[in-house]
Amino acid sequence: MENLQQLVMTKAQKWLGPEFDEKTREEVQNLIDNNPKDLIESFYKDLEFGTGGLRGIMGAGTNRMNNYTVGFATQGLANYLKINFPNEEIRVAIAHDSRNNSRSFAERVADIFASNGFKVFLFDELRPTPELSFAIRELKCQSGVMVTASHNPKEYNGYKAYWSDGSQVTSPHDVNIIKEVEKITEVSQVLTGANAENITILDKEFDEKYLAAIKELQLSPESVARFHDMKIVYTPLHGAGVRITPASLRNFGFTNIISVPEQTILDGNFPTVASPNPENRPTMKMAIDLAEKEQADLAMATDPDSDRIGLALRNSKGEYVLLNGNQTLVLLMCYQLTRWAELGRIKDGDYVIKTIVTSTMPDAVAAEYGVKCYNCLTGFKYIAKIIRENEGKAKYIGGGEESFGYLAGDYVRDKDGVSACSLAAEAAAWCRDTKGVTLYEWLQDLYVKFGFYREGLVNVVREGKDGAELIQNMMVEYRANPPQTILGSKVVDIYDYKTLEIKNTATGELRPISGITDKSNVLQWITEDGTIVSVRPSGTEPKIKFYFGVKATLPSVAEFDKVEAELDAKIEAIKAELNLV
């Protein structure tokens, strides 16, 4: 502990130097004088530029998001771009969300890139993450940066690095960028204050190109025309979807879009919610309350950078059910595949994608329509990687992950909450028009057809240095002593994505996991009765996640409530058995 304190104090003293601004020096001095615990958290390590970029609590220190850690990351990325694109004009796009300091961080990134001689495209104000991905492709950039911490609490901000295809960086660029970032250790190494003329501001005219690309996804304009005035409640949760998501809905033909007025106010403190995460019902409360008042067909939300979608649908009792990410994915994928089939669009080689911790229902749905379903590691960059590898060979239809992200079409290479909202609304109109049912009733019909798949999630949060060590120790223990049974059903296979091997528990035989080449610290336990439990430390937050997947036959919609209750009870029993409640 004494050595750690000495290390922290040495690093903190360096931040009192004249190369740091006065406000930063004052904040560091205050930590030294008054808050030794926060001093350690702020300086015990450098904020890691991980495989997707930066994410952390804002404040002074090497382990915090601030102008200096953002500067080091940007200069490292700039140096890597120079190595990869010698003798080329390097072009980069930059966007940001509504979080505190996001604009100043984005402007600092733009300044550093311009000072390195790059051609820089900076949006004039906040924009969704998917539009940044679209801009990289549209403007033929080699890279891009999105300043956002997605749905994290207000104390956080982050920095996502993108490559020339519009996806977040993957191997080998991710680890090689990290090496370059680690070489930047002094403020003097960061180039600033030059070539301001290299910065081009992107305004609302560029939005029209993005909206036009989304409009091409439309599959049922006739249904929308007939139900254009159905009530749609939407909230941007104080974030980047505030203007562009309603614009996309109007572009599809919808005319009765009801916003949550208190949440259209852009505010990085997210004053109306505890956390701006649309997967949480309390976060969706204002939208759902307004939907109940208006008797709306659906209530939708996007998170602060508008890449995720929250969707609440009215059931036959008039209650609004907040879908989990798996249900939203299944609905959007089923809608796309059904309409593609009806329109005669499906061809040999067409495919969809899901992640390994997502429900296995999309596998069954894809098989029904004769399209391939790829599985990949968690993170949309792996979905983008599969799209990139199949370009010119096969057609991507849609795909997503359980964490409320979906992408239809390949015009961008990250999840897109804007287009997902438009497709969800269109699917609701199509259900009413062609089937005479609500979107939720159609989901129930799909469960009758394909089986009732039910999922659960537990997040175990462990903050700080001690928490990170505890999470790693949990994974070590699970590898050494995995459960032999889950609720009495024998664990037959253990998938270890760190070694890319499957262990047959009966024979001890190891066989490779097919179709996946990237490694990740994830374990999956598969039981005889088809239950799946996945364990994964988060790559962006101080938590370890437990995913549960169970399924049963649903004989009829009339038995929906009964079977749902049984499956939910099974998930709760699994949590209890694993000491997670």
What is the rounded average pLDDT of the residues 489-511?
Answer: 97
Q: Which residues contact 323 (CB under 8 A, 6 or more apart)?
A: 311, 312, 313, 331, 443
Domain count, the chain: 4
CA 438, 444, 448, 453 dihedral sign is: positive
User: Do 40 and 112 reside in the same domain of the chain?
Assistant: no
Classify residue 22 by burial, with Cβ atoms within 10 Å: 0-12, 13-18, 19+.
exposed
User: Do 254 and 291 reside in the same domain of the chain?
Assistant: yes
Q: For residue 557, what is the DSSP state?
A: G
Whether 150 sits among the annotated catalytic residues: the reply is yes
Q: What is the DSSP string of 328-342?
A: HHHHHHHHHHHHHHH
| CATH number for the domain harbouring residue 518 | 3.30.310
111's tokens: 């300044």
User: Do 442 and 457 reside in the same domain of the chain?
Assistant: no
Residue 420: what residue type? A
Q: Residue 290: pLDDT above 80?
A: yes
The proportion of the chain whose per-residue pLDDT surpasses 70, expressed as a percent, equals: 99
Instruction: Identify the residue whose tokens are 């001890």.
Output: 508
The catalytic position among 150, 167, 403, 520 is 150
The domain of 433 spans: 210-450
The predicted structure's pLDDT at residue 291: 98
The predicted structure's pLDDT at residue 542: 76
Which H/E stretch holds residue 136? helix 129-138
User: Do 390 and 458 reside in the same domain of the chain?
Assistant: no
Instruction: Identify the residue whose tokens are 């009829």.
Output: 556
Looking at 202, 229, 259, the residue that finishes a domain is 202
User: Do 274 and 345 reside in the same domain of the chain?
Assistant: yes
Q: How confident is the model at residue 183 (pLDDT cuts 50, 70, 90)?
A: very high
267's tokens: 């505010």
Q: How confident is the model at residue 383 (pLDDT cuts 50, 70, 90)?
A: very high
pLDDT tens column, 123-153:
999 999 999 999 999 999 999 999 999 988 9
Instruction: Identify the residue whose tokens are 């939910």.
Output: 568
CA angle (462 as vertex; 545, 145 as ends), nearest 5: 70
User: Do 169 and 39 reside in the same domain of the chain?
Assistant: no
CB 241 within 8 A of CB 416: no
Go through the chain and tell me how many residues it has: 581
CA 408 to chain centre: 15
The proportion of the chain whose per-residue pLDDT surpasses 90, expressed as a percent, equals: 91
CB 166 within 8 A of CB 92: no
What is the distance between the alpha carbons of residues 198 and 116, in angstroms, rounded to a whole number? 10
What is the distance between the alpha carbons of residues 443 and 437, in angstroms, rounded to a whole number? 10
What is the distance between the alpha carbons of residues 88 and 103, in angstroms, rounded to a whole number? 28
User: Do 125 and 79 reside in the same domain of the chain?
Assistant: yes
pLDDT tens column, 403-424:
999 999 999 999 999 999 999 9
555's tokens: 């004989």
User: Do 346 and 397 reside in the same domain of the chain?
Assistant: yes
Check residue 16 and give left, alpha or beta (phi > 0: left; psi -120 to 50: alpha).
alpha
Three-state DSSP class for residue 347: coil
Q: What is the pTM of this model?
A: 0.95
User: Do 422 and 533 reside in the same domain of the chain?
Assistant: no
Q: What is the DSSP string of 266-299?
A: --TT-TT-SS--TTSHHHHHHHHHHHHHHT-SEE
Looking at 28, 44, 60, the residue that finishes a domain is 44
pLDDT tens column, 54-69:
999 999 999 999 999 9
| CATH number for the domain harbouring residue 68 | 3.40.120.10
pLDDT tens column, 471-491:
889 999 999 999 999 999 999
Residue 88: what residue type? E
101's tokens: 């300091």
List beta partners, residue 95.
Answer: 146
CB 233 within 8 A of CB 258: yes
Q: For residue 46, what is the DSSP state?
A: P
- Please give the residue that has the higher pLDDT: either 216 or 471: 216
458's tokens: 């537990």
User: Do 148 and 257 reside in the same domain of the chain?
Assistant: no
Looking at 44, 61, 79, the residue that finishes a domain is 44
User: Do 480 and 382 reside in the same domain of the chain?
Assistant: no
Strand order in the sheet with 396-401: 372-376, 351-355, 396-401, 405-408
User: Do 311 and 269 reside in the same domain of the chain?
Assistant: yes
Q: What is the DSSP string of 15-34?
A: TTSTTS-HHHHHHHHHHHHH
